[in-house]
Amino acid sequence: MKTWEYIVRRLLLLIPVLIGVTIITFVISHVIPADPAIAFAGGPKAQPETIERIREELHLNEPLLVQYFYYLNDLLHLNFGKSYLESRPVLESITQYFPATFELTIFAMLISVPLGILGGIISAIRRNKLSDHITRIIAILGYSMPIFWLALMLQYLLAYQFPILPLEGRLSIGLIAPQSITGLYVIDSILTGNINTLSASLYHLILPSFTLGFATMALLLRMTRSSMLEVMGMDYVRTARAKGLSERVVIMKHALRNALIPTITVSGLQFGALLGGAVLTESIFNWPGMGRFAANAVMGLDFNSVMGFTIIVAIIYVIANLIVDLLYAVIDPRVKLGGE
Amino acid sequence: MLHLFRRSLLSMIGLILILFIIFIAIFAPYLAIQHPTYVEVSTEQGTRRIEERWDINFQDKFIPPNSEHYFGTDDFGRDIYSMVIYGTQISLKICLMVVFSATIIGIILGGIAGYFGGKIDEILMRVTDVFLSIPYLILAIAVAAALGRSIENIMMALVLVWWPQYARLLRGQVLSIRENQYVEAARSIGANNWRILFRHVIPNSFAPLLVQITLDLGAVLLVAAGLSFIGLGAPPGTAEWGLMISSGRMHMFHSWWYATFPGLAIVITVLGFNLLGDGIRDITDPKLRR
């Protein structure tokens, strides 16, 4: 199969998945609540007139199938309803908050992927030695810790007791955000040549992105370690050693390259976990991203925003996975040939 | 099997931690100093029980850890140690119920899909694809928000999020096991599909299922705590770890103990499940036993 054929096939497969996602979100928002009108109106304390109005607006008196088509029609017109907390369309809020979340998840990846892979290699090479045990303990703690608790502890220790890092937010108080080009403060600061906002935004990113990436780092460390150990037992590694190649070459060229394939796949998939983790991390570090927006919406019973956030994130995640898969097929030809 | 367990220090630690948590959950009333939601007050009229202990005793609030209150007290003057102790009951209940229900659903649907194949299999796998294409924490948040705030509702939300993994795991197992000769032998002596499924396929899938269940007990606890933290799940005043961290967060800078101890309890429990799950995996998977 040619690469473009594979790409077209994957794009076509996207359609049923996206339809499936809308069915799930439709069921969650229109079938699961005891009374969807009350849920959308902001809970049982809402005014009866508001509830009635919403019942009309969302066609909740119609049969479910009809409701679903109204719902799908709204989604196709990018109409995700109005956020009651922010009194503006949900899409507008999410578009505004998205760059902050994107910047945070990118930095979480930049921290966790290299650290995880490096830790995994060290652990595998020095198997059952002290450094192996230490890295493994860090890894297992990494995915045993509630992310919001880790965030609180780090914030308390490193921003309050020993104030070496900023407590919260994206920039220091008093600094004006760089002119918005991409919405990512670091990139915008570089583009506009603003050293002050560049250093401040990097400084503010350290704690939240480390917290967010910690579990991913732990997972990647563990995966790299086990796949390194597996690969190092393979015949071709033994052959490479028998040829008299140095241990360095054997590990870097023969073992690592093959061991990294599963790790790279998983790193791509971790994007979804990071988006989920962002809801918790952002609300602690007061990071003005869509995760904090979602957490506030949950607390404020702003059901429309919660559902809008869910479907937008699901779409982003589906597309991100598709991109990862496509890149992967380009890198590793075996995927599109034998994977089907 | 036990001797292999003994050889792995980490999985022994996991087992001990889990037994310790189960012990605390069972004997919570004897270990705690006060009940987390009611208190008995002696007055001149006699002793009476006041429900909802959390809106009284303001003079005892924010006491740092000492010999009387091992983990200090919270903003309502409640003893955090007692709440953490009682919290084990809620947490274990959530984990066990969720993973148990998800496993049952997964076994049934995955077993049917893998065994009978064809259209049923195709449909079921596409459904799980869709479920797995939404980040699970976000899906759980949406479902829990739709159901409304209660512990039962987050349990329901988590089952809904978790079953597809089990369905897929079991389907994969079935597909590989049904090719075995003993399945063919069973069929040739006249065993029907259901008998083969329940007597041969499911028992032989037990090892990977057990590993997944153990690891998921920890993962479910983390997600459940996360849901409580953002205000879904346990109603205010419940001795639930995630909720306690959420309330303690506001008072972090003057009363660090409030959020710290419930969090430690989560870490210990999840760590226990993870170490145990890893241990079981190492024991049951001979490829890893080197």
Q: Which of B142, B222, B270 has the CB atom closest to A310's CB atom?
A: B142
The better pLDDT of the pair B93, B237 is held by B93
Structure tokens at B49: 């029980």
ipTM score of complex: 0.89
- Interatomic CA distance for residues B226 and A295, integer angstroms: 11
Cα–Cα distance list, B252 to B75, B82, B241, B255, B260 (Å): 11, 19, 15, 5, 9
Q: A303 and B146 in contact by Cβ < 8 A?
A: yes
Please provide the size of chain A in residues: 340
Confidence of residue A46 (pLDDT cuts 50, 70, 90): confident
Tell me the percentage of chain A whose pLDDT exceeds 70.
97
pLDDT digits (tens, 9 = 90+) for B28-65: 988 888 777 665 566 666 666 655 555 556 677 888 89
Task: Show the tokens assigned to A25.
Answer: 């979100």
CB–CB contact A148 B148 (8 Å): no
CB contact under 8 A, A310 and B139: yes
B270, A144: Cβ pair inside 8 Å? yes
Output the pLDDT for position A335: 63
* Nearest residue, CB atoms, B143 vs list A23, A28, A299: A28
Q: Please indicate whether, in this complex, the C-beta atoms of B271 and A33 are within 8 angstroms of each other.
A: no
User: What pLDDT score does B290 carry?
Assistant: 45
Q: Which tokens hold the place of B186? A: 């069973």
Q: What percent of chain B has pLDDT over 70?
A: 88
From the list A24, A152, A283, the residue facing B130 with the nearest CB is: A24
Mean pLDDT of chain B: 86
Which chain B residues in 2-21 lie under 8 Å from chain A, judged by CB atoms? 10
- What is the rounded average pLDDT for all residues in chain A? 88
A321 neighbourhood in chain B, CB within 8 Å: 133
DSSP for residue B194: H
Tell whether B232 is within 8 A of chain A (Cβ): yes
Looking only at the bridges linking them, the beta strands covering A82-83 and B46-51 are unpaired
| Full 3-state SS string of chain A | CCHHHHHHHHHHHHHHHHHHHHHHHHHHHHHCCCCHHHHHHCCCCCCHHHHHHHHHHCCCCCCHHHHHHHHHHHHHCCCCCEECCCCEEHHHHHHHHHHHHHHHHHHHHHHHHHHHHHHHHHHHHCCCCHHHHHHHHHHHHHCCCCHHHHHHHHHHHHHHHCCCCCCCCCCCCCCCCCCCCCCCHHHHHHHHCCHHHHHHHHHHHHHHHHHHHHHHHHHHHHHHHHHHHHHHCCHHHHHHHHCCCCHHHHHHHHHHHHHHHHHHHHHHHHHHHHHHHHHHHHHHCCCCCHHHHHHHHHHCCCHHHHHHHHHHHHHHHHHHHHHHHHHHHHHCCHHHHHCC
B104 and chain A in contact, CB less than 8 A = no
Whole-angstrom Cα distance, residue B104 to residue B167? 9
- Half-sphere CA count of B277, side-chain side, radius 13 A: 21
Nearest CB partner across the interface for B231, out of A226, A275, A298: A298
Of B135, B226, B232, which is closest to A146 when you measure between CB atoms?
A: B226
Tens digits of residue pLDDT in A183-212: 899 999 999 988 889 999 999 999 999 999
Look at residue A333 and tell me whether its pLDDT is greater than 70: no
Contacts of B9 (CB under 8 A, 6+ apart): none
- Whether B245 and A226 lie within 8 Å, measured CB to CB: no
The encoded tokens of residue A65 equal 């199938």
Closest CA to A311 of A57, A26, A15: A26
Amino acid at site A56: E
Instruction: Identify the residue among B124, B127, B131, B141 best suited for mutation to test binding to A, counting A beta carbons within 10 A and taking the highest.
Output: B141
174-203 in chain B: CB under 8 A from chain A:
none
Nearest by CB: A283 against B145, B230, B267: B230
pLDDT at B156: 94
Cβ atoms of A163 and A172 closer than 8 Å: no
d(CA B159, CA B97): 9
Q: Which residues contact B285 (CB under 8 A, 6 or more apart)?
A: B207
Domains of chain A listed by start with CATH number: 34-79 (no CATH), 96-295 (1.10.3720.10)
Record: contact B278-A277, CB cut-off 8 A: no
Contacts of A337 (CB under 8 A, 6+ apart): A1
Backbone torsion region of residue B237, taken as left when φ is above 0, otherwise alpha when ψ lies between -120 and 50, otherwise beta: left
Q: B139 CB near a chain A CB, below 8 Å?
A: yes
Select from B238, B262, B265 the least CA-distant residue to B251: B262
Residue B259 forms contact with A (CB below 8 Å): yes
- Which among A284, A102, A231, A106 is positioned nearest to B248, based on CA atoms? A284
More confident of the two residues B196 and A228: A228
Q: Which of A259, A288, A278 is nearest to A317 (CA)?
A: A278
| Coil, strand or helix at B19 | helix
Chain A residues with CB-CB distance to B225 below 8 A: 146, 148
The mean pLDDT value for A229-256 works out to 85
Q: Write down the CATH number for the domain with range B2-289.
A: 1.10.3720.10
DSSP-based three-state secondary structure for B238: coil
User: pLDDT at position A263, please?
Assistant: 82
**Cα-based angle A156, A158, A161 (whole degrees, multiple of 5):** 60
Domain ranges of chain B: 2-289
